[in-house]
A and B are shown apart, each in its own frame.
Chain A
Amino acid sequence: MIRTVVVFFAASLAALVAPTANADEVQAIAITHGRVYIPGDHPPLEDATVVLSGGKVVAVGAGLAIPPNARTIDAHGKVVTAGFIDVGTDVGAVEIDLEAASNDTDVRSAMTPGLRMLDGYNPRSSVIPVTRAGGVTSVVVAPARGLLGGQSAFVDLAGDTVAEALVRPSLAQHAQVDEGTVQRVAGSRGGLWLMLREALEDARFYGTHRAQYDANGVRQLSLHRAGLEALVPVVRGEQPLVVWAERASDIESALRLADDLKLKLVLEGAGEAWMMADEIAHHKVPVIIDPLEDLPSGFDRLHARSDNAAILSQAGVKVVLSTFASHQARLLWQRAGNAVRLGMDHEAAIRAVTEGPADAFGLKGYGRLEKGAVGNVVVWSGDPLQAGTRVEHVFIRGKEESLETRQSLLLQRYRTLPFTHDGSR
């Protein structure tokens, strides 16, 4: 019975997903004469055009014919990229961190694999327009804590309802094996990995014994039903398991676990990943990194160093850059810029916030400017990774989004003193 409900619910979510703009409603856009970053290991196109129509990118190239009735945006001297994607945020799940009532990031339990971040996503959060105005068009809203913290949601930063914003309601499962989690949950690494392995092995067992489970015909399992159900796609290798690990030996443990259980692994945090660069590359495991986190801030990152991203990238690891933030996810460009300062190739850094995240999570049509891609596009006044550059236009699913934020309204109100409530004099 219950199983039927679960399947039905998943189906209903799928129906909510893949929202496409009505081609008639959204005017075609031609962004012309820009420097356009295209997917793959290619230099950007110069003096190129990007055409958006029906919510999609319909053409990218130099010397394209502009469709009649298209709105033209002259991007001469400007840069056009796919919308940036931050895969490690809690955007939409928290309005003010220290106000518990407005914060849906902290679950007071270590084992909540069935938790869905989409249930806490607020499409009207003031953080969303601010993030968007930083050139980020999509984010992964991920659980912040817990050994098995739950399922992340992938959303476009647009829409008035959760249904409109959602792209993938259950993108990945998130595990934390950093020293803080060890202390909170198990007291020792051995204890923590025992719990993790047991949960995953129970889920695998459950996945092939659902009927007996429903008939109370199986041994006691380490998780409740919703948790087991959520882990089934993980142990089948269909859904990524994102593991936050810092110490090189913990990364080694994660690679071993992924080998043993045939998991689709993504590493996150990964302060000491550079020490394991070749092994990680060999396993073809993507690594999500904040390049500014260079401090030996805990005993599990004593070997942290500032060129972690550069070393991994040069070793052939798919590096994805993230802010791991909520309110400051808007600064993803600055993380990528710092990765360049710290030795990463400029184009690789742009890929690490566009197609890199899309590839790591199998998000088809995202993070790339090519025919058929989702119409998430940003026009920058110059180098997207540079401090003086402004975001000039943000398109999500082919529709231009306002750059107005609660902050721009505060600026308007206080631009002259004494202020007037309508911003006039």
Chain B
Amino acid sequence: MRCLAVVAITTGLVALAFTACVPPPPPPHTEARPASSVPADPFAAPESRARTALDTPPVAHGPAVLVQHATVMTATGKRYAPGFVLMEGGTIAAVGEGDGPAPKEGTVVVDAHGRFVTPGIIDPHSHMGVYPVPDTEGHDDGNEMTDPITAGLRAEHSFWPQDPAIERAVAGGVTTIGVLPGSANLIGGRGIVMHLVPQRGARAMRFPGAPEILKMACGENPKRVYHELKRAPSTRMGNLRAVREAFLHAQKYARDWEDWTKKQRQPPPPEAADGGADKKHDKGEDKAPDRDLALETLALVMRGDILVEWHCYQADDMLAALQIADEFGFKVRAFHHALEAYKIRDVLAARGVAVATWDDWWGFKMEAYDGIPENLALVTEAGARAVVHSDSPIAIQILNQSAGKALAAGRAAGVKLEDDDALKWLTANPAWALGIDDQVGTLEPGKRADVVVWSENPFSVYSRAELVYIDGQAVFERAHVGAPWSDFELGVRGMPAKQEAK
């Protein structure tokens, strides 16, 4: 058993220090490989089954933490004031009204009087790590602008875990992000859901159990990029043709694998009387189809195993995208940016498509001209899942303000909204958009203890995240910011709190 002393957390937040005895971490889990030579799932790529020393490490269990005397906003519709949150073993053990259970020995008790507690913010649209700061040629890894269909790519393989922006996002209360390839390509590649705990490799930051996600893009960006390269697509109709053709190829690919798999599973034919080998079994017909990373990804989309995160601004572009989804039998999990979602909010609500967008960005390109600050509110009113996203390493630091602004804009337009609705834009709804809503996004017993303690109402422009927990571990304490997370920033006078920290 390792024993460590837990120090007082902040001058503002009175924390009782106990000596905590930390059990050794459990052994890393291993995954049994299928015994048969025929893969149980031909599309489950070997690289996603591979586990290495740098895979997501098991949650380190620190002392239990009891946050008391706060206004606890749960994103479940319930609000406790004053309320408590108890984190134990990396998960939320209890949440409710009052002071909570009497703390066991070793529990860190945080007196959060006057503070607000929320689930960790989840940003489903980030390019941190793939477009890191500083902006350098050496790390310009977000857009593979060499082909409009690059479904075989993985953002994970571009992700630089030393991006200095990551720590600043966490200081803004963000605990999970969806990292996506850029939008130059119609099908940009797989994104990755990241839990924002510093690690040495991208793989180790992967949110455990998160589904695969796919970045797609419609509208102006792909046609502009490839028009400049003097190749297809250079129009919206070119965009749609290219996407449809890609899925047509994927349909055939999926059929070929299904046929082959079916054949492999059939019992071998009886030995021929002449003892000669069955020609069919010897020769090419039984050879497995060649793997194709792009078609494999699209086949998994059609099977529903990969969630589609589709960058689209205009209402008509989104409707056209839904037509393609219908043609090939897949669902769009979320439209991203979606500045005109309010125009088709009834359609999006009926089809269960989430809308991930900014609070009030507009006008930076033609397809962004009709953005209005009431978009999130109107989408919510219609019954669709609205999500605040950043797409920016600066906006990600103040997503709470974005929700506050959109809440105010909606109420001014007469949309009836609870504070909890706006909190869902930041936590529960993006968790759903990324397929991790069974694990995070609300403060409920059994969920991962991703928790933020705010200095005041999180929708205030003055609110600061004072404590940020991921899996029950304090990853950010405003009063005790240590050395920078990023190796890149060593020796550089960077974040403000570092100067204040003694």
* Partner-B contacts on A (CB < 8 A): 95-99, 126-127, 275, 292-299, 301-307, 326-328, 331, 334, 337-338, 340-343, 385-390, 407, 410-411, 414-415, 417, 419
State whether the Cβ of B492 lies closer than 8 Å to any Cβ in chain A. Answer: yes
CB pair B364–A98 under 8 Å, yes or no, is yes
**Given A98-B365, A341-B463, A390-B412, A303 and B342 touching (CB < 8 A)?**
no
Question: Could you say which residues of chain B place their CB within 8 Å of the CB of A328?
Answer: 360-361
CB pair A411–B496 under 8 Å, yes or no, is no
How many angstroms from the CA of A123 to the CA of B407 in the assembled complex? 31
Among candidates A98, A292, A299, A338, residue contacting B366 with C-beta atoms closer than 8 Å: A98
Among candidates B372, B382, B413, B461, residue contacting A385 with C-beta atoms closer than 8 Å: B461
* Contact indicator per residue, chain B 369-382, by CB within 8 Å of chain A (1) or not (0): 11111100010001
Q: List 15 A-B contacts (CB under 8 A).
A: A97-B363, A98-B220, A297-B135, A298-B135, A305-B494, A328-B361, A331-B360, A341-B462, A385-B461, A386-B461, A388-B404, A414-B343, A415-B378, A417-B345, A417-B382
How many angstroms from the CA of A341 to the CA of B462 in the assembled complex? 5
Question: Could you say which residues of chain A place their CB within 8 Å of the CB of B346?
Answer: 417
**Given A96-B363, A295-B164, A387 and B378 touching (CB < 8 A)?**
no
* Contact indicator per residue, chain B 342-368, by CB within 8 Å of chain A (1) or not (0): 110110000000000000111111101
Question: Could you say which residues of chain A place their CB within 8 Å of the CB of B224?
Answer: 98
How many angstroms from the CA of A133 to the CA of B465 in the assembled complex? 30
Chain A binding surface, main DSSP class: loop
State whether the Cβ of B495 lies closer than 8 Å to any Cβ in chain A. Answer: yes
CB pair A305–B133 under 8 Å, yes or no, is no
Question: Could you say which residues of chain B place their CB within 8 Å of the CB of A326?
Answer: 363
Q: Closest residue of chain B to A339, judged by CB?
A: B461
Give the interface segment out of B59-67, B103-111, B392-400: B392-400
Kindly list 18 other residue pairs between chains A and B, CB separation below 8 angstroms, not including A341-B461, A386-B461: A96-B363, A97-B363, A98-B224, A292-B397, A294-B168, A295-B133, A295-B165, A295-B394, A297-B393, A298-B135, A301-B134, A386-B462, A387-B408, A387-B460, A407-B373, A417-B346, A417-B382, A419-B343
CB distance from A161 to the nearest CB of B (A): 23
CB distance from A321 to the nearest CB of B (A): 13
CB pair A342–B496 under 8 Å, yes or no, is yes
CB pair B495–A305 under 8 Å, yes or no, is yes
How many angstroms from the CA of A417 to the CA of B165 in the assembled complex? 41
Question: Lowest 5 CB-CB distances: which A-B pairs, in order?
Answer: A337-B461, A387-B404, A327-B363, A98-B365, A307-B496
* Contact indicator per residue, chain B 154-172, by CB within 8 Å of chain A (1) or not (0): 0000000000110010000
* Contact indicator per residue, chain B 409-420, by CB within 8 Å of chain A (1) or not (0): 000111000000
CB distance from B408 to the nearest CB of A (A): 4
CB pair B461–A334 under 8 Å, yes or no, is yes
How many angstroms from the CA of A189 to the CA of B494 in the assembled complex? 24
Question: Could you say which residues of chain A place their CB within 8 Å of the CB of B343?
Answer: 414, 419
Question: Which of A95, A295, A298, A419 has the largest number of chain B CB atoms within 10 A?
Answer: A295
CB pair B461–A296 under 8 Å, yes or no, is no
Question: Could you say which residues of chain A place their CB within 8 Å of the CB of B408?
Answer: 387-390
CB pair A97–B372 under 8 Å, yes or no, is no
CB pair A297–B133 under 8 Å, yes or no, is yes
State whether the Cβ of B256 lies closer than 8 Å to any Cβ in chain A. Answer: no
State whether the Cβ of B327 lies closer than 8 Å to any Cβ in chain A. Answer: no
**Given A296-B489, A388-B408, A410 and B135 touching (CB < 8 A)?**
no
CB pair B394–A340 under 8 Å, yes or no, is no
CB pair A295–B168 under 8 Å, yes or no, is yes
How many angstroms from the CA of A305 to the CA of B345 in the assembled complex? 40
Question: Could you say which residues of chain B place their CB within 8 Å of the CB of A305?
Answer: 493-496, 499
CB distance from B180 to the nearest CB of A (A): 19
Q: Closest residue of chain B to A302, judged by CB?
A: B492
CB pair A303–B493 under 8 Å, yes or no, is yes
CB pair B393–A334 under 8 Å, yes or no, is no
Question: Could you say which residues of chain A place their CB within 8 Å of the CB of B382?
Answer: 417
CB distance from B485 to the nearest CB of A (A): 13
CB distance from A409 to the nearest CB of B (A): 10
Question: Could you say which residues of chain A place their CB within 8 Å of the CB of B164?
Answer: 295-296
How many angstroms from the CA of A299 to the CA of B365 in the assembled complex? 28
Q: Closest residue of chain A to B412, judged by CB?
A: A390
**Given A296-B164, A341-B464, A411-B374, A387 and B364 touching (CB < 8 A)?**
no
CB pair B404–A127 under 8 Å, yes or no, is no
CB distance from B198 to the nearest CB of A (A): 17
How many angstroms from the CA of A327 to the CA of B358 in the assembled complex? 14
State whether the Cβ of B143 lies closer than 8 Å to any Cβ in chain A. Answer: no
Among candidates B136, B365, B495, residue contacting A96 with C-beta atoms closer than 8 Å: B365
CB distance from A331 to the nearest CB of B (A): 8
Among candidates A126, A292, A307, A414, residue contacting B394 with C-beta atoms closer than 8 Å: A292
Question: Could you say which residues of chain B place their CB within 8 Å of the CB of A338?
Answer: 398, 401, 461
**Given A98-B364, A127-B363, A296 and B494 touching (CB < 8 A)?**
yes
Q: Closest residue of chain B to A297, judged by CB?
A: B133
CB distance from A205 to the nearest CB of B (A): 39
Question: Could you say which residues of chain B place their CB within 8 Å of the CB of A387?
Answer: 401, 404-405, 407-408, 459-461
Question: Could you say which residues of chain A place their CB within 8 Å of the CB of B464?
Answer: 341
CB pair A295–B393 under 8 Å, yes or no, is yes
How many angstroms from the CA of A387 to the CA of B360 in the assembled complex? 12
Q: Closest residue of chain A to B491, judged by CB?
A: A302
Question: Could you say which residues of chain A place their CB within 8 Å of the CB of B407?
Answer: 387-388
* Contact indicator per residue, chain B 311-345, by CB within 8 Å of chain A (1) or not (0): 00000000000000000000000000000001101
CB distance from B393 to the nearest CB of A (A): 6
Question: Could you say which residues of chain B place their CB within 8 Å of the CB of A327?
Answer: 361-364
Question: Could you say which residues of chain B place their CB within 8 Å of the CB of A297?
Answer: 133-135, 393
Question: Could you say which residues of chain A place their CB within 8 Å of the CB of B493?
Answer: 275, 303, 305
* Contact indicator per residue, chain B 460-502, by CB within 8 Å of chain A (1) or not (0): 1111100000000000000000000000010011111001000
Question: Could you say which residues of chain B place their CB within 8 Å of the CB of A334?
Answer: 401, 405, 461
CB pair B492–A296 under 8 Å, yes or no, is yes
CB distance from B478 to the nearest CB of A (A): 12
CB distance from A182 to the nearest CB of B (A): 14
* Contact indicator per residue, chain B 249-270, by CB within 8 Å of chain A (1) or not (0): 0000000000000000000000
Question: Could you say which residues of chain A place their CB within 8 Å of the CB of B462?
Answer: 337, 340-341, 386
How many angstroms from the CA of A27 to the CA of B378 in the assembled complex? 38
CB distance from B185 to the nearest CB of A (A): 18
CB pair A296–B372 under 8 Å, yes or no, is no
Q: Closest residue of chain B to A389, judged by CB?
A: B408
Question: Which of A292, A414, A417 has the largest number of chain B CB atoms within 10 A?
Answer: A414
How many angstroms from the CA of A112 to the CA of B491 in the assembled complex? 39
CB pair B361–A303 under 8 Å, yes or no, is no
CB pair A414–B492 under 8 Å, yes or no, is no
Question: Could you say which residues of chain A place their CB within 8 Å of the CB of B378?
Answer: 414-415
Question: Could you say which residues of chain B place their CB within 8 Å of the CB of A419?
Answer: 343
How many angstroms from the CA of A375 to the CA of B154 in the assembled complex? 57
Question: Could you say which residues of chain A place their CB within 8 Å of the CB of B413?
Answer: 411, 415
Question: Could you say which residues of chain B place their CB within 8 Å of the CB of A340?
Answer: 461-462
Q: Closest residue of chain A to B401, judged by CB?
A: A387
How many angstroms from the CA of A385 to the CA of B460 in the assembled complex? 10
Question: Could you say which residues of chain B place their CB within 8 Å of the CB of A388?
Answer: 404, 407-408, 459
How many angstroms from the CA of A99 to the CA of B369 in the assembled complex? 11
